[in-house]
Amino acid sequence: MSEDQKRDIENTVDRVVVRLLIWVALAIVIAWTASHFIDGYKKGMAAAYVKGQEKAAKQRVDTRTKPSNDIKKLMKAAEQGNAEAQFALSKCYAEGIIVGQDASEAVKWSTKAAEQGHEKAQKVLPGHQCLLGRCYAEGTGGVRKNSIEAVKWFKKAAEQGDAPAQYALGLCYYTGNGVRTDVEEAVRWFREAANQGHAGAHGELLRHRF
């Protein structure tokens, strides 16, 4: 092999090595840039999420302290005895729409509407009573935790055929939470709920072989 050929090969190798080094350097730069971009993106998303939560929390507070004109009109109509307004207001309180969730207010207004013969209110009233029972059981929805009150509202709803309330009441009797332990009563309410297709109640009956 001549000297010229050797030099050509060496030059070719040098060029290849230089190109490889350039590509490696570029890859490092790209990786570093991407890593910082992703970190920045994550931080930005996290900050946006926190800001959004703060804004949502402020809005929830505002709806409790500064009711909108629409809810003011609805409240006024409900207080004047309009059954439809009472029913609508009960739904707002039950689901936390426009106003903060308040189970006791939901029961109050659905009861008033139901007493006037409002059919939809009559249908949702047991569900609202069950909701109030759960709130008392957990200490949520605008009330303090009170197992005895929970049983009271579960029973009201259960006696009107609300399956979730029947199941919850069965659990209270079985565990002695808020009421004296009574397995027979627990089984009774589990069966009432299971007969309506409540999976939890059916599971309790099978699990304890009642």
Q: Let me know how long the chain is.
A: 210
Structure confidence by residue, pLDDT tens digits, 146-158: 999 999 999 999 9
Q: What is the pLDDT of residue 49?
A: 45
Same domain, 74 and 57: no
One domain, residues 188 and 89: yes
56 and 73 together in one domain: no
Which residue range forms the structural domain that includes residue 20? 1-66
**Spacing of C-alpha 137 from chain mean position:** 17
Q: What's the total number of domains in the chain?
A: 2
Q: Is 20 exposed, middle or buried (0-12, 13-18, 19+ CB in 10 A)?
A: exposed
Q: How far apart are CA 6 and CA 53, in angstroms?
A: 70
Same domain, 84 and 114: yes
The whole-number pLDDT of residue 71 equals: 84
**Do 59 and 76 belong to one domain?**
no
**Per-residue pLDDT tens digits for 103-157:** 999 999 999 999 999 999 999 999 999 999 999 999 987 789 999 999 999 999 9
Using one digit for the tens of pLDDT, what is the confidence trace for 45-81? 544 444 554 454 444 434 444 456 788 888 999 999 9
Specify whether 93 is located in the same domain as 196.
Answer: yes
The confidence band for 208, taking pLDDT boundaries of 50, 70 and 90, is: confident
> Does 7 lie in the same domain as 57?
yes
pLDDT the model gives residue 88: 92
Residues 61 and 86 in one domain: no
- Asked if 123 and 155 touch (Cβ cutoff 8 Å), the reply is no
